[in-house]
Amino acid sequence: MATIEDIVNKQKVGAPFVISAQMLRLGPEEFETLLKVWLEDGDLGLELAGVPHRKLVDGEFFIDRITVVKTEARD
C-alpha cells in the first residue's frame, strides 16, 4: 500500500497532482479524516489546488480526491 510520503516524494516541486482515497486504499470517510490531520499538521509541503472532490456515502458527502501542488523539496 502506498503512503502519502511515497506519492509526494515522486512529484516535482510546483507540479499539480491528485491524491485519492483509492490510491491509499482508504474509504472516503477515512480519507477525509486523514486529510484533516495532514492539513492541520502542514508538514507535507503541499498546497491544495482547487476544490476537493466529494463522494456521497449513505447520504453524507466525504472528500475522496484532492488536487495538490508540491511546494517544497523533501528528502
pLDDT tens across 8-42, in order?
888 999 989 999 999 999 999 999 998 888 878 76
**The pLDDT of residue 73:** 61
Tell me, what DSSP letter sits at residue 13?
A: T
Nearest to 71 by CA among 3, 14, 21: 14
Model pLDDT, residue 43 = 66
- pTM of structure: 0.81
